[in-house]
């Protein structure tokens, strides 16, 4: 069935398997009546964009905890008229989310009532679990001594990273796991002592490599397998290799970066690229997929089955439209958190069963339209009910939402407590303020104060040799070459640069993050043909790009 997106007007398809999924997750309430979840009226991209506009992952601000009055780090800027509690206060028993409970009003739309509740219930300053000395992090779990790491877990001594797991001593990395002593990597797995690498697996002591596997001591290489002592895909003996690498790394930074990038780009255009990175999977479409089955239009997923329209998801089954989440079953329209079963329209919650329309709820079940609820059941708009009364009332509310056209929709963008420019949405759907507001998104104009330091210096004045940098830099604000925003170097970070002989960065952490994300393929598919066998394929490489794109069979024949 073809539909036109009511937001962007683009045509999209509702498949029979989609209809089957919506029927499968449709809940049964009040006298065993099934309340069918309708097919969406906006396309997958617009649904993705809407979910992301609720997730401020990387912007941190200083404000005061509204309970203990301590100065805290928060994802909510101080100009937002919200009640925000620090981690300890939000999780303790000094406040009760049921105090904000409301009777449902059938004279008002559901989302209008939910918005009032959302504005009033205290918010968690950041969402973190089981961390030690990780004050400047968000969506972080099971980590120690990390700084400005986001959406990551099981990390130690890591800085300026996002969506990284099981890592130690890495800096400025994105979408990496099982990593140690790495710098400026993206989409890498099982790496050790590597720098500026992308889409590499099981490599060590490699720099500036792309799409390499099981390699060590390689520099500026593309598409290598099981190799050592290669520079720009050319083999050298060990002694010559070390001399050549020393020569390359000895160049001043401006010459080194431009020259290496020029060589790499030439290699990338000459070397075939795999149309889709789909490994150990069956009947899947998308990109960056591993160990999955029957997953369509998915990107960055692992260990999933029977899922569609997923982005950065692991260990999920029978789920649709999920971002940054994992360990779910029968979940729909999810952003953040995890451990969900039989759920719809959830944002950053955890361990939730049989619930709908939640924001920051934890370890609960049988909730409808709740905010900040912990370890509760049978609640509507934060008000408690008996099991029987809950089921009867939820059925009536859904019927009301069906009349208003709200049932089955994710939260409207107007409910997001963040400006569009504070969230992950611009990473994939860049908009300026005018464009964002015209599409119903909000925009933040809050400017955080500059670092309190004794002196400021432009980044251009930084030495290329880290050995020429004294500890005085810790009391200096560096002006970013691009954004002109000041940033600081902390002692832990300086130690990393010195240990790995890396010059100080000249760009603000946000600019470094943007540069890494730009290197990723778009999270959408185009119809094109394999450049070798001419077989029709769907790939994140658009037809107007200049790379050589092969289907899996042709690619494997070339590589091996």
- Per-residue pLDDT of the chain (560 residues), as tens digits, is 899 999 999 999 999 999 999 999 999 997 789 999 999 999 999 999 999 999 999 999 999 999 999 999 999 999 999 999 999 999 999 999 999 999 999 999 999 999 999 999 999 999 999 999 999 999 999 999 999 999 999 999 999 999 999 999 999 999 999 999 999 999 999 999 999 999 999 999 999 999 999 999 999 999 999 999 999 999 999 999 999 999 888 876 767 777 898 999 999 999 999 999 999 999 999 999 999 999 999 999 999 999 999 999 999 999 999 999 999 999 999 999 999 999 999 999 999 999 999 999 999 999 999 999 999 999 999 999 999 999 999 999 999 999 999 999 999 999 999 999 999 999 999 999 999 999 999 999 998 877 677 788 999 999 989 999 999 999 999 999 999 999 999 999 999 999 999 999 999 999 999 999 999 999 999 999 999 999 999 999 999 999 999 999 999 998 87
CB 518 within 8 A of CB 507: no
DSSP 61-106: EEEE-TTT--EEEESS-TTS---EE-HHHHHSSSS-GGGG-----T
pLDDT of residue 455: 86
Beta bridge partners of 487: 478
Distance between CA 485 and CA 144 in Å, rounded?
28
d(CA 427, CA 174): 13
For residue 254, what pLDDT is reported? Answer: 66
- By the 8 A CB rule, do 373 and 364 touch? yes
What are the residue ranges spanned by the domains of the chain? 2-42, 156-274, 285-413, 455-505, 526-559
**Beta strand segments in 360-487, E:** 362-371, 377-380, 383-384, 455-458, 476-479, 486-487
**Cβ atoms within 10 Å, residue 204:** 18
The answer for residues whose C-beta is within 8 angstroms of residue 344's C-beta and 6 or more apart is 25, 37, 331, 332, 333, 356, 357, 408
Strand partners, 529: 536
Cβ-contact 507, 480 below 8 angstroms: yes
| End-to-end Cα distance, the chain | 42
Q: Which residues contact 430 (CB under 8 A, 6 or more apart)?
A: none
CB 168 within 8 A of CB 156: yes
pLDDT given at position 490: 96
Strands 213-219 and 228-231: parallel
Q: Which helix (H) or strand (E) holds 314?
A: strand 305-317
The whole-angstrom separation of Cα 138 and Cα 148 is 8
């Amino acid at each position: 069935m073809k539909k036109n997106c009511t937001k962007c007007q683009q045509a999209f398809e509702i498949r029979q398997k989609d209809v089957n999924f919506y029927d499968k997750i449709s809940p049964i309430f009040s006298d065993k009546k099934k309340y069918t979840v309708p097919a969406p009226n906006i396309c997958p991209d617009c649904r993705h964009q809407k979910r992301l506009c609720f997730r401020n992952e990387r912007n941190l601000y200083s404000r005061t905890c509204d309970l203990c009055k301590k100065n805290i780090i928060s994802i909510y800027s101080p100009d937002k008229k919200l009640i925000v509690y620090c981690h300890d206060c939000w999780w303790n028993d000094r406040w009760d989310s049921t105090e904000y409970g409301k009777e449902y009003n059938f004279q008002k739309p559901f989302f209008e009532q939910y918005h009032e509740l959302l504005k009033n219930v205290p918010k968690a300053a950041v969402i973190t679990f089981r961390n030690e000395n990780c004050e400047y992090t968000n969506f972080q779990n099971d980590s120690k001594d990390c700084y400005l790491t986001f959406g990551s877990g099981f990390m130690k001594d890591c800085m300026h990273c996002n969506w990284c797991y099981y890592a130690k001593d890495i800096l400025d990395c994105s979408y990496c796991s099982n990593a140690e002593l790495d710098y400026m990597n993206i989409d890498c797995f099982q790496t050790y002592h590597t720098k500026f690498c992308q889409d590499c697996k099981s490599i060590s002591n490699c720099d500036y490599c792309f799409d390499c596997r099981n390699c060590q001591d390689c520099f500026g290489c593309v598409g290598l397998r099981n190799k050592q002592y290669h520079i720009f895909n050319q083999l050298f003996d060990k002694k010559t290799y070390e001399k050549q690498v020393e020569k390359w790394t000895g160049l001043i930074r401006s010459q080194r970066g431009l020259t290496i990038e020029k060589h790499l780009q030439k290699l990338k255009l000459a070397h075939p690229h795999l149309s889709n990175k789909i490994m150990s999977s069956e009947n899947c479409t998308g990109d960056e997929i591993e160990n999955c089955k029957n997953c369509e239009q998915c990107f960055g997923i692992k260990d999933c089955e029977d899922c569609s329209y997923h982005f950065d998801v692991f260990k999920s089954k029978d789920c649709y439209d999920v971002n940054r989440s994992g360990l779910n079953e029968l979940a729909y329209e999810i952003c953040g958190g995890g451990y969900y079963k039989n759920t719809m329209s959830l944002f950053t919650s955890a361990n939730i069963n049989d619930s709908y329309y939640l924001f920051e709820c934890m370890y609960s079940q049988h909730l409808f339209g709740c905010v900040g609820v912990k370890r509760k059941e049978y609640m509507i708009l934060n008000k408690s009910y008996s099991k029987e009364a809950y089921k009867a009332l939820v059925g009536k509310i859904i019927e009301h939402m069906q009349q208003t056209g709200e049932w089955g929709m994710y939260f409207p963008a107007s409910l997001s407590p963040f400006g569009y420019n504070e969230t992950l949405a611009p990473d994939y759907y860049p908009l300026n303020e005018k464009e964002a507001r015209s599409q119903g998104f909000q925009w933040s104009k809050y400017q955080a104060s500059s670092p309190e330091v004794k002196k400021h210096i432009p980044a251009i004045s930084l030495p290329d040799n880290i050995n020429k940098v004294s500890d005085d830099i810790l009391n200096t604000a560096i002006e970013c070459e691009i954004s002109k925003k000041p940033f600081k170097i902390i002692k832990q970070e300086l130690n990393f640069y010195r240990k790995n002989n890396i010059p100080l960065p000249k760009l603000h952490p946000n600019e470094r993050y943007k540069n890494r994300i730009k290197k990723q393929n778009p999270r959408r598919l185009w119809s094109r043909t394999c450049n070798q066998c001419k077989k029709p394929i769907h790939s994140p490489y658009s037809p107007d790009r200049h790379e050589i794109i092969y289907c899996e069979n042709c690619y494997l024949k070339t590589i091996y």
